């Protein structure tokens, strides 16, 4: 099971080699998320409308290895935008991927850019 996690390494903006055209902006619900596939990865994309920000992270929750994070609730803890897994409500920072309420591994986060109504996700390969 751990091998699944190895598919997901965080990418910072300066590491981006490929901007993948993932979907239309309007495909992602406001203050919600949806999942896209890139190579062997499932990526959750969030339109955090209340903060006017977009985020992307692995769809895989490291708690029970479920592909569910795109269906979680987005929120905020002391100014940190977060995603709560819909299964058992473990929460992760959407900025750093850090697990905010436990000792789970961090999740991988990915840069997002918007251009001409499309959402692009940055990958390092």
Terminal Cα-to-Cα distance of the chain (whole angstroms):
23
Region from 5-13, 46-54, 63-71, 92-100 binding ligand FES, contact rule CB under 6 A: 63-71
Kindly state the smallest distance separating residue 73's Cβ from ligand FES, in Å: 12
Angstrom distance (rounded) from CA 63 to CA 123: 24
Using CA atoms, how far residue 100 sits from 1, 84, 121, in Å, is 22, 10, 24
Name the residue nearer to ligand FES (CB basis): 34 or 85.
85
Name the residue nearer to ligand FES (CB basis): 59 or 120.
59
Does position 88 interact with ligand FES (CB under 6 A)? The reply is: yes
DSSP 29: P
DSSP 2: H
Of positions 10, 18, 66, 124, contacts ligand FES by CB under 6 A: 66
Q: Pattern of binders to ligand FES over 89-118, x per CB under 6 A?
A: -x----------------------------
Alpha-carbon torsion 36, 37, 38, 41, what sign? Answer: positive
What does 95-122 look like in DSSP terms, one character per residue? TT--BSSSSPPPPPEE-EEEETTEEEEE
Kindly state the smallest distance separating residue 10's Cβ from ligand FES, in Å: 18
Does position 35 interact with ligand FES (CB under 6 A)? The reply is: no
Does position 71 interact with ligand FES (CB under 6 A)? The reply is: no
Which residues of the chain form contacts with ligand FES (CB under 6 A)? 61, 63-64, 66, 85, 87-88, 90
């Amino acid at each position: 099971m751990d091998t699944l996690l190895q598919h997901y390494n965080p990418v910072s903006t300066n590491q981006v080699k490929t901007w993948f055209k993932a979907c239309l902006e309007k495909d992602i619900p406001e203050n919600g998320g949806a999942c896209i596939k890139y190579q062997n990865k499932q990526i959750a994309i969030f339109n955090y409308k209340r903060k006017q920000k977009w985020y992307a992270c692995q769809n895989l929750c490291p708690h029970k290895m479920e592909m569910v994070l795109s269906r979680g609730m987005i929120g905020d803890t002391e100014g940190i935008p977060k995603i709560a897994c819909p299964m058992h409500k473990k929460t992760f920072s959407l900025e750093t991927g850090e697990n905010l309420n436990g000792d789970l591994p961090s999740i991988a986060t990915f840069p997002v850019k918007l251009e001409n109504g499309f959402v692009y996700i940055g990958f390092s390969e």
